[in-house]
A = this chain, B = another copy of it.
Amino acid sequence: MIRIVVVDDHDVVRKGVISYLETEEHFDIVGEASSGHEGVITVLNKRPDVVLMDLMMENGSGMEATKAIKEALPECKVIILTSYYDDEQVFPVLEAGAFSYLLKTASAEEIVAAIEKAYHGETVIEPKVAHKVMTRFHRKDPELHEQLTEREREVLICLANGASNQEIADQLFIGIKTVKTHVSNILRKLDVHDRTQAAVYAHRHQLIKSS
């Protein structure tokens, strides 16, 4: 089952796409949203495998939503489904983390195929823009946590098990001040704003086994 969320502010389009996708037995539409902001919340709660995202929406752009989703759920594939081809939009949204880029003129079969391919890690780009893209997006960004030192990794593991700074200090036999230094460095390197997000990061990236 491929878990899917559809984000489009045009109700008719959204409902239509959904009802069609539902005819596919191995698709599971776990959520829908009518704005980028709603979309992010829905995606965070439902944690789908694939997101179908409209680029041009009234309140809250699909681009920002894509960026937010990509940051929070790097494994989640966002497929941009846009009304028209715009050179200005393509690259920013791909940089934002979009996985595939389709036009709404695509056939239903093409969209189904794109979802399946995305699920298996294969990108589909509209032919018109494909060649412009192929060159630039084969660099996978290095996992952020690879920047961490050994000690920082140890601290992160304790932190991600729910330990307070004082408890980490006790477990690693260092001062709480030192722990704070490490934590600050971890937060900076992982690009998160507090320890809870760092703990979430650790669990999402399986630095900690979750079950």
Residues of A at under 8 Å CB distance from B?
Answer: 41, 44-45, 47, 72, 75, 157-162, 164, 171, 192-197, 199-201, 203-204, 206, 208-211
The complex is assembled from copies of this chain, and their number is: 2
Least Cβ distance of A40 to chain B in Å? 9
B-chain residues with CB within 8 Å of residue A197 when the two chains form the complex:
162
Across the interface, which residues of B come within 8 angstroms of A194, CB to CB? 162, 164
Q: A159 vs B45: C-alpha distance in the bound complex, in angstroms?
A: 11
The minimal Cβ–Cβ distance linking A48 to chain B, given in whole angstroms, is 9
Known: A206-B210, A211-B75. A200 touches B162 (CB 8 A): yes
5 closest A-B pairs (Cβ-Cβ)?
A162-B197, A210-B210, A47-B209, A203-B203, A162-B200
Q: Which residue of B lies closest to A48 (CB)?
A: B209
Which B residue's beta carbon lies closest to that of A195?
A: B196
- With A and B bound together, what is the CA distance between A126 and B160 in angstroms? 36
Who on chain B is nearest to A3 by CB? Answer: B209
Residues of B within 8 A of A199 (CB): 196, 199-200
Chain B residue with Cβ nearest A203: B203
A109 to B: closest C-beta gap in Å = 29
Contacts of A161 on B, CB cut-off 8 Å? 44, 72, 200
Per the bound structure, the CA–CA distance linking A47 and B160 in Å amounts to 13
Min CB distance A34 to B, Å, is: 16
- Chain B hits for A206, CB < 8 A: 210-211
Q: Identify 25 residue pairs between A and B in the complex whose beta-carbon atoms are under 8 Å apart, listed by A's number.
A: A41-B171, A44-B157, A44-B158, A44-B161, A72-B162, A160-B200, A161-B200, A162-B192, A162-B194, A162-B196, A162-B201, A164-B193, A164-B194, A195-B196, A196-B196, A196-B199, A199-B199, A199-B200, A200-B203, A203-B203, A203-B210, A204-B210, A204-B211, A206-B210, A210-B211
A159 touches B196 (CB 8 A): yes
Is A208 touching B157 in the complex (CB atoms < 8 A)? Answer: no
Contacts of A203 in B (CB 8 A): 200, 203, 210
